[in-house]
Structures are given as C-alpha cells and as structure tokens.
C-alpha cells in the first residue's frame, strides 16, 4: 500500500521558495501592524485584559533581548540579526528544496528576526504586548511568537530526519540493513 504524500513529506512537492518568503513577509507585516496599533493606541504599561488573569494586551518596551537581557546593546543585536538573517536565507536557498517543513520553519524565523530588527533599527527598542498572565511569562510580540514557532517546527523537522535516517540504516522494525 502506497503512503499518501502530504505537504510535509520529504519528497519535492514543487513548493516554490517564494512561498517561504511570502510567509516571512506576512509575519513581518502582522508583527509591525500590531506594534503600530499598540504604539499609537496604548500608553506604556497600559493593560487590556483579553481573558481576565489569563491573557492581556500589555504595552511594554524592551531595549534588550528575551527576558530583558543585554539591555541597550543595539550594536550586538544588529550584528547578530544580520548574521542570522543571512544564515536563514542561505538555508532556505540551499537546504529547503523538497523539505517544506524546514522551509516553513525557516520562514517563521526569518520573519520574526526581521520584525524585531525593524524595531531595533527604527525605534531603538522592541514593542512587546502579548502577556500570558496565568504563567507570568515575559511580555512578547508576534515576531517573538514566530521565532518560537519556527524553532519548534525546526526541531520537529530534525527529529523526522533522524528517524528517517535510522529507518534507512536499521529498517522500520529495528533490524540492520547493509
């Protein structure tokens, strides 16, 4: 019985690299639009409950990285982001062909990295506004969420590749094939 090919199979599905860049542009646009809305309509520190004591929109600014580390080190963020963006584009172009899950994960990371880079470059700080109060998670934004989604998808891709490699070596039932 032949397995039905899905979008996330490793076979070349004909998905163009353009799709990955469209995903990235969508993430950037959504990130910047939401940040503009927060910047224009909320005071810093203002909180709008979405689900009381669970989740809120809370206007916050961050001049550092995750959890506020490395405050004010913009030159470091510029340098790291340029290197990361270059690396992600390289990986999309060289390694995502026929691997849509890899391409999508990299697209989310690219969009997230550029979204926060735009803030650092033009605002000299990152606008954060999504607050999971129930777990007191640090306030974040769409770019941060996209980066996290991208990393999770990348981990799934890596686990899939490792499993497939083991299946090639040992077979599906665990016996070695030469």
In tens digits, the chain (178 residues) has pLDDT values of: 444 445 444 454 445 789 999 999 999 999 999 999 999 999 999 999 999 999 999 999 988 766 666 666 777 889 999 999 999 999 999 999 989 999 999 999 999 999 999 999 999 999 999 999 999 899 999 999 999 999 999 999 999 999 988 888 887 766 555 5
Answer yes or no: 12 catalytic.
Answer: no
Does a structural domain hold residue 108? yes
Does a structural domain hold residue 166? no
Does a structural domain hold residue 138? yes
Instruction: Please identify which of the residues 31, 119, 128, 136 carries the catalytic annotation.
Output: 128
Does a structural domain hold residue 89? yes
Answer yes or no: 144 catalytic.
Answer: yes
Number of domains the chain is built from: 1
Domain with 138 in it: 40-160
Q: What's the whole-model pTM score?
A: 0.84
Does a structural domain hold residue 84? yes
Contact of 146 with 138, CB cutoff 8 Å? no
Does a structural domain hold residue 7? no
Does a structural domain hold residue 176? no
């Amino acid at each position: 019985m032949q397995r039905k090919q899905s979008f996330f199979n490793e076979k070349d599905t004909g998905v163009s690299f353009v799709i990955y860049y469209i995903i990235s542009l969508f993430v950037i646009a959504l990130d910047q639009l939401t940040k503009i809305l927060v910047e224009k309509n909320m005071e810093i520190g203002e909180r709008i409950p979405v689900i009381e004591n669970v989740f809120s929109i809370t206007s916050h600014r961050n001049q550092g990285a995750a959890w506020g580390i490395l405050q004010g080190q913009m030159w470091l963020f510029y340098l790291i982001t340029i290197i990361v963006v270059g690396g992600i584009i390289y990986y999309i172009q060289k390694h995502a062909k026929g691997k849509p899950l890899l391409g999508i994960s990299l697209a989310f990371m690219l969009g997230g990295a550029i979204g926060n880079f735009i803030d650092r470059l033009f605002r000299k700080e990152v606008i954060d506004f999504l607050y999971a109060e129930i777990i007191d998670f640090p306030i974040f934004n769409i770019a941060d969420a996209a980066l996290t989604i991208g990393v999770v998808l990348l981990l799934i891709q890596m686990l899939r590749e490792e499993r497939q490699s083991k299946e090639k070596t040992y077979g599906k039932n665990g016996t070695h094939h030469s």
